[in-house]
Amino acid sequence: MNNPTPTLGPGDLQPGHSPDAPRGFVARLRNYFLTGLIVAGPIAITFYLTWWFVTWVDGIVRPFVPVAYRPETYLPFGLPGSGLVVAVFALTFLGFLTANLIGRSLVELGEAILGRMPVVRAIYRGLKQVFETLFSSTGSSFRRVGLVEFPSPGMWSIVLISQPPNLEVATRLPGKEEFISVFLPCAPNPTTGFFFYVPKSKIIEVEMNAEEAATLIMSAGVVQPNGDAQKKVNALAEMANAARVATASQIPPTPAKVD
């Protein structure tokens, strides 16, 4: 007896139909979207932050620029960045004036006036020291990166190494070991964190600059320093291994010696 040919139901596979076709098409669309997001996301955020900074500086500087010297007075549209240009020239000119005797005298006079204000004095001196430390061409603060065992034994955190403590603090720290101040940035916002003194022997310095450390912290470890170089090294190692395997496969086997 001949077996009857089975009939295909609506949910069964039809000839020439692949169950992975719709899933593969959707997966490709998703990959294309994620690829576009990876490419456009950093560019869009960078342009947004740049635009925010430029407009913020324009909003501060523009009220001090006379109307006759504003670009929008002569143009039918506003010119973003004009305030930033004025600010750069003004700061450069201020630095030029400060470099001579008259400028230094005016700065000393202003500092003397601020030094007589109880609350403003502390704020000004602290901010001045921070700016002198960060923007000094010879300073070493926050230019070295290290590892500190924090928050518990066996867990290591990235820190920016700063300066040794002053005499008052150093004499009150326990032990005779030399201490140094460090700043531990928090992820993903490295502008906040913890400041503390740690023994110098407890810090492991790493070959990494402050910019690479900030990138590592902001990305929560996703973007590793020298990632491209590591990828190239791995690729070269794989190529060498593949060439070694190919060479070994082309060598004919040595015939066994018969006595």
- Residue 212 in domain: yes
Q: Is 142 left (phi over 0), alpha (psi -120 to 50) or beta?
A: left
Name the maximum alpha-carbon separation found in the chain.
116
- Residue 194 in domain: yes
- Residue 245 in domain: no
- Residue 180 in domain: yes
pTM: 0.51
Domain that residue 159 falls in: 144-225
Among all chains, which residue has been given the structure tokens 């930033």? 84
H-assigned helices in 115-226: 118-134, 167-172, 210-218
User: Total domain count for the chain?
Assistant: 1
Taking only the tens of pLDDT, the chain with its 259 residues reads 455 555 544 444 444 444 444 567 888 888 888 888 888 888 888 888 888 888 888 888 888 888 887 887 777 777 778 888 888 888 888 888 777 777 778 778 888 888 788 878 888 877 777 676 666 655 556 678 889 888 888 888 888 888 888 888 888 888 888 898 898 888 877 778 888 899 888 888 888 887 888 888 887 777 777 655 455 545 655 665 666 666 666 655 555 555 5
The helices-and-strands tally (H runs, E runs) of the chain is 8, 5
Are 173 and 158 contacting, i.e. CB atoms less than 8 angstroms apart?
no
- Residue 207 in domain: yes
Are 161 and 220 contacting, i.e. CB atoms less than 8 angstroms apart?
no
Among all chains, which residue has been given the structure tokens 């500092």? 111
Are 73 and 67 contacting, i.e. CB atoms less than 8 angstroms apart?
yes
Specify burial of residue 145 (Cβ count, 10 A radius: 0-12, 13-18, 19+).
buried
- Residue 184 in domain: yes
Strand order from edge to edge, sheet including 193-199: 193-199, 179-185, 156-161, 144-149, 204-206
